[in-house]
Amino acid sequence: MRVVKSLFIGFSAAALLTACTAGGDNPGTEYAPNMYHSVAYEPYSQIVDEDAGRWLTSIEYPDGHAEFFNSNKFNPHRMTMREPAPNTVSRNKQGWLPYRFGKDSLAYAAASIKNPLDSSAAVIAGGKLLYEMYCDHCHGAKGAGDGKVADKYAGVANLNSDALKNISEGHIFHVITHGKGLMWAHGSQINPEDRWKIAKYVKTLQK
């Protein structure tokens, strides 16, 4: 009897372990599946079937839909994100308009745009941290064009040279945004506020 009982327990344990095996479209048995399968809201591509993902979890949402349903019933075309009003222009959290000067507008941008940030110690300190993150490896800690990258690629700008020491903060912002010469554009990596902070800090290096 003891042998039969042991065999029964062994086969039951094996069956349970087998049920956890994933393969093909079967993800296997999962603990807390909501933690594995996050459903992102897609602004222009919606899942409109309210039963989609019903197999995944037994959780009942307040309005009765299943796990994958991600449409907004109240917006046009069931979109999660509403289209902006006609002729509106998006602004960032500071209320700034998008930077629209093209790469070939350096001279105009340098003379006309002003840094919206003050010269407080906090702004300068933030600019220093960002400079060390994005600029130091090429331009060097003091802006002398002697960073580690400059050892491999000649022509990195010396920010303290006579040709550059009097450039405006608008000039620096524009070059960070669009790049110039060997320097590639960094507008997609550094947000506008951080670009202005770097410009503030570079001017302290040039003093």
Domains of the chain, each with CATH number or no CATH: 36-85 (no CATH), 103-205 (1.10.760.10)
Average pLDDT, the chain: 84
| DSSP state letter for 43 | S
Which candidate, 207, 122, 136, places its Cα nearest to that of 169?
207
Q: What is the pLDDT of residues 12-51, one digit of tens each?
A: 777 766 666 666 676 666 666 666 666 565 666 678 888 8
**pLDDT, position 52:** 84
Structure tokens at 173: 């912002």
**pLDDT, position 133:** 95
Residue 180 phi/psi, 5° resolution? Answer: -165, 135
Identify whether the C-beta of residue 170 lies closer than 8 Å to the C-beta of residue 110: yes
Q: Which residues contact 168 (CB under 8 A, 6 or more apart)?
A: 110, 111
**pLDDT, position 2:** 76
User: Is a pLDDT exceeding 80 seen at residue 198?
Assistant: yes
Q: What is the pLDDT of residues 176-192, one digit of tens each?
A: 999 998 899 999 999 99
**pLDDT, position 28:** 67
**pLDDT, position 7:** 76
Q: What is the pLDDT of residues 148-170, one digit of tens each?
A: 998 888 889 999 999 998 999 99
Q: Which long-range contacts (CB under 8 A, 24 or more apart) does 178-183 make?
A: 178/102, 178/103, 178/106, 179/103, 180/106, 181/155, 181/157, 182/153, 182/155, 182/156, 182/157, 183/138, 183/157
Structure tokens at 118: 């003050």
- Whole-model pTM: value is 0.61
Q: What is the pLDDT of residues 55-107, one digit of tens each?
A: 776 666 777 888 778 777 777 777 777 777 888 888 888 888 888 899 999 99
**pLDDT, position 22:** 66
Q: What is the pLDDT of residues 112-152, one digit of tens each?
A: 999 999 999 999 999 999 999 999 999 999 999 999 998 88
CA angle 48, 54, 56 (to 5 degrees): 120
Residue 26 phi/psi, 5° resolution? Answer: -90, 115
User: Inter-axis angle of helices 121-134 and 192-205, to 10 degrees?
Assistant: 100
Which candidate, 64, 61, 56, 60, places its Cα nearest to that of 33?
56
Which residue stretches of the chain are H helix? 2-19, 106-112, 121-134, 136-139, 169-178, 192-205
